[in-house]
Amino acid sequence: MDFKTFNSLRSRFRAVLVALFVFSFVNVSQAKEPSASYSFSLQKKSFNELMEKIEEKTDYRFVYDASNVNLNFEVDNYKFQGTISEILNNALKSHYVAYELRKKNILLFPSQQESYELKGRVSDFTTGESLPGVNVYIEGVSGTSTDFDGNYSIQVSGNEDLSFSYIGYKTKTVSIDGRKVIDVALEVDAKAIDEVVVIGYGTSSKKLLTTSVSSINSKAINELPTPTIDGVIQGQATGVNVVQNSGTPGGGMSVRIRGNSSITAGSDPLYVVDGIPIISGDNSMVGMS
């Protein structure tokens, strides 16, 4: 090998080294790019707005299946600062949404949700007394009720909404947000107290009603194979004694409300249908139509 050939090879070798150095520098720069720091300010605590800000100020683009992952949730802050990974970790915590960085794409997908036991106590907002029998449920998923001391336990995933409902109280819904203990105080529903009750020949406010009232809903009536009113209330209304006078099919029945109420007069009850009083010794004449 002569000297000219040696210089030519050395020049080519230097060119290759320079090219490799430039290529390595570019790759290192690209590899460190995700560590760049960003700052985003939001008008609303919305993750959708945060995604728009990221796509607007960076080259990153979000990729996700809208039918498979729910992104309509609020984030904890109005301002986020840090690397893309730090911002996403902060925004997605407790929302069971995972992400993966692939070059300039941010893939979003639901993370695995492990259920756990959530416990708590339900009480009256005014008195602080325990409320037994309160319905505790996740809409369309599962439900339970409180025990005598107002305590409950239910299996949850951590990102659902938990509802509490009780007769005479306002229904309350709270977000679980990964919590393991949720105590709730229910407020009395004034509308339920003022609810009007039909008492046969008039109406009265529930809070002013002092007498005993028994009611039978239409579902129970439809399930009973009887054509008469007295047959319907037999065994259905508290304090009402209905006895068939004879074994003849369709025969009359004797109706007594808490026993005989008169010595000389009759003890049959007063029937009021659509505001019209009906007095009859044979109550089977009162039809079901």
Q: What confidence tens digit (pLDDT) does each residue in 76-99 have?
A: 888 899 999 999 988 887 677 889
Enter the pTM of the model.
0.37
CA gap 277, 260 in Å, rounded: 20
Instruction: Decide which of 142 and 194 is more confident.
Output: 142
Which of the four pLDDT bands, split at 50, 70 and 90, describes residue 21? very low
Which of the four pLDDT bands, split at 50, 70 and 90, describes residue 181? very high
Q: Is the pLDDT of residue 112 over 70?
A: no
Supply the pLDDT for residue 256. Answer: 75
CA gap 165, 21 in Å, rounded: 69
Q: Is the pLDDT of residue 192 over 70?
A: no
Residues in the chain, total: 289
Nearest residue to 182 via CA among 154, 149, 147: 154
pLDDT tens track for 222-267: 766 666 766 766 776 767 777 776 666 666 677 777 666 566 666 6
Contacts of 89 (CB under 8 A, 6+ apart): none
pLDDT tens track for 51-82: 999 999 999 999 998 887 888 888 888 889 99
